[in-house]
Amino acid sequence: MNLFDLKGKTAVITGGIHGLGMAMAEGLAQAGAELIITNNTLEPLETAIEYYKSKGYKATGYVFDVTDEVEAEKQVEAMEAAHGKIDILVNNAGIIMRVMAIDMKVEDFRKVIDVDLVGVFIMSRLVAKGMIARKSGKIINICSMMSELGRDNVSAYASAKGGLKMLTRSLATEWARHNVQVNGIGPGYFATSQTEPIRVDGHPFNEFIIGRTPAGRWGDPEDLAGTAVFLASDASNFVNGQVIYVDGGILATIGKPSNE
């Protein structure tokens, strides 16, 4: 199974300090990759790096804001100088603001777009320069089911993630000729610390997700690891511009009839 072997590879995971980002980073590390974890604040990054090292993974942290192009360029240059090259980029950093569109401030809408879409463009463009020069690289953008569906309270997030799907396709179109594959992962609803308060029997949203998901459960963060390894490895060398939805089948169905 050498197709999935990431030994000797260096992977940058933006915002890989908890939850789904950490689960994907662990999957890459278990396949042999060296981890570079970024975050915009120091304390949670240090905690995450300590965790990775306690598991025996090789991990280094860098503090910067992915929306700051000047600082991001300095940090990417520092990464390449320290680690030799960046083979894999997972654009995981993101934010969400749950506000009805009619009430949302324009500056808040812009902030979500800036982090979830513009930040991905900045990091992809910076890291891709080295990948293109080496004629080898993998970029994985963390999209969402909101890349395909709308929902109350998330107009900015859905706009960013819909744009991210098309950015993924556009970058794949430009960079595939250089043997750089750009793809996305669209997570469904996962059991994380953020969703723990609503994942209880009798909670309306918990019942909705379990009933709406053909698999009949929330996803485990580890469910994303295999997809991340696939898209980061030689197994996906002819996969370009795709978004793989890891959602238990939600997007495959209109849902159960009300009389079931």
Residues with a known catalytic role: 157
CA atoms within a 13 Å half-sphere pointing along the CA-CB vector of 132? 13
Torsional sign, CA 39, 42, 45, 49: positive
